[in-house]
Structure 1
């Protein structure tokens, strides 16, 4: 992959949200020109709340009926559980979309598969196959947009530093039963699926992220593969398809050049 990721830094969350909305709108427009549907995957954490900006929720330019929303990772818990990424997205975004208008198509995990994490992963991969490979066989799904977070340890989705799943090459969705962050049982999109997307947006805010962002952006990229953090592997694998939306506190001390507007 050629090119460098774009690192955007904003003085406050309001400006960050506004620029993220503009970015999503552009991604939606490009997707609808390609295939009349907007296929995105989202993660949990603070992302759903930042995603649900007033601009997004009030916009007549957002075509909710064209959106297909998947989950970049999910915890092996019921859909109503506090740890569920679906429950978080429902609370922060989906419940706020006016019920009188069009609604997105949402693809949660199958709660009937919670007793076996590998079955849960297989079922979710099958739902991706139905959406992305219904007509033709494809090696990997191509999301129009991935909206991801960055953990303080540099993990994204449920891909953790040094974990064996970082070497997975063929599966679209993988099971993890030893997550270092609770709950331990989860499913996640694999690294090749993440880097194959048309666009990838990371959202990272707060001073608690500045140390890991220094490692991701300023540590020499030729470090041994096992030493490269998952977020940095996405940067390396997807290059200029990646955009980071951060506040000033998160990028304090980062020497990588940053931008203030799209």
Structure 2
């Protein structure tokens, strides 16, 4: 059974007791977004992260989804990538291919990975160029509020420090307004060189989902979703807190451990009134 809270406008928090429950609900959620996107636009443009996130996509590789989803309309991107070879253990592409892409019939030509033969700066420039071309032909949508790409869904993991994609706390990359894709050479977590979507791109998506599990994420989750009027200790530069879709919806997928500090505050009417089982 999952508890569900809605602490912010266009936001929802889903809390689960097991990893199987998360995978089951996440598969249904992605399936629904996919079907709506294909029906409305003719395409489904999804951006993935690496880390633990991919391990929760296994339900999509099984019945009924492996047979019922219109995989030919899926277009795969990455919200961030490490500047390593595609066969490197740190590669988000490698992780996703082994855990997901090799198990579903997504067209290889619809998978847009980062150029691992270029410098990290050139790889970021190349990736933004590719996305701009796909926006021109509307394979990827365009935001009504700005000229940013409007991905149908961006799936993000969150680190214990509150980072999402490769946007880290207090990093200058958080301040970028015009770039769609940028690069960093000083990641506080190895490897140091990465490319990443910027906040304007993430916040322009139709749907954003953030997955966070484990008690080491509990404080960051609390700071990210707390109402600023009730939480004076919430840092304004926490990347996960800065994920606020302009015209889209944000859904958090949490386990009981990562949500433990939220559950401790359910006496707060802002949470209690939206608690459902």
TM-score scaled to structure 2, two decimals? 0.84
Residues 1:61 and 2:68 aligned together? yes
1:103: how far off? 3.4
Q: Which runs of 5+ in 2 are unaligned?
A: 1-7
Higher relative contact order (CA 8 A, sep 6+): 1
Number of residue pairs the alignment of both structures matches = 253
Q: Distance in 2 between matches of 1:119 and 1:213?
A: 34
Q: Distance in 1 between matches of 2:247 and 2:170?
A: 21
Residues 1:163 and 2:171 aligned together? yes
Residues 1:229 and 2:202 aligned together? no
Residues 1:109 and 2:111 aligned together? no
Moved over 6 A (4+): 135-138, 221-226
Q: Which residue of 27, 36, 47 maps to 2:53?
A: 47
Q: Distance in 1 between matches of 2:173 and 2:232?
A: 19
Q: Which runs of 5+ in 1 are unaligned?
A: none
Residues 1:192 and 2:200 aligned together? yes
Q: Which residue of 197, 206, 212 maps to 2:220?
A: 212
Q: Name whichever of 200-209 and 55-64 sits farther off.
A: 55-64
CA 36–123 in structure 1, closer or farther in 2 if over 3 Å, else same: same
Tell me the secondary structure at the aligned position of residue 9 of structure 1: strand
Q: Which residue of 2 aligns with 1:71?
A: 78
Q: Which residue of 8, 28, 35 maps to 2:34?
A: 28
**Map of 1:89-104 to 2, 5 A cutoff?**
89-97=96-104, 101=105, 103=107
TM-score scaled to structure 1, two decimals? 0.88
Residues 1:13 and 2:19 aligned together? yes
Q: Is the Cα–Cα contact under 8 Å of residues 83 and 194 in structure 2 kept in the other structure?
A: yes
Deviations 1:28-82 (A, max 9, x none): 11111221110000001100010222x5433222221111000000011111111
Q: Which residue of 106, 116, 128 maps to 1:125?
A: 128
1:260: how far off? 6.0
Deviations 1:132-188 (A, max 9, x none): 123799711010000100000000000000111111000110011111111111100
1:224: how far off? 10
CA 84–28 in structure 1, closer or farther in 2 if over 3 Å, else same: same
Q: Is the Cα–Cα contact under 8 Å of residues 35 and 69 in structure 2 kept in the other structure?
A: no
Q: Distance in 2 between matches of 1:102 and 1:248?
A: 33
Q: Distance in 1 between matches of 2:246 and 2:234?
A: 16
The Cα RMSD (Å) is 2.5
Q: Distance in 1 between matches of 2:163 and 2:15?
A: 20
Q: Is the Cα–Cα contact under 8 Å of residues 166 and 191 in structure 1 kept in the other structure?
A: yes
Q: Is the Cα–Cα contact under 8 Å of residues 152 and 206 in structure 2 kept in the other structure?
A: yes
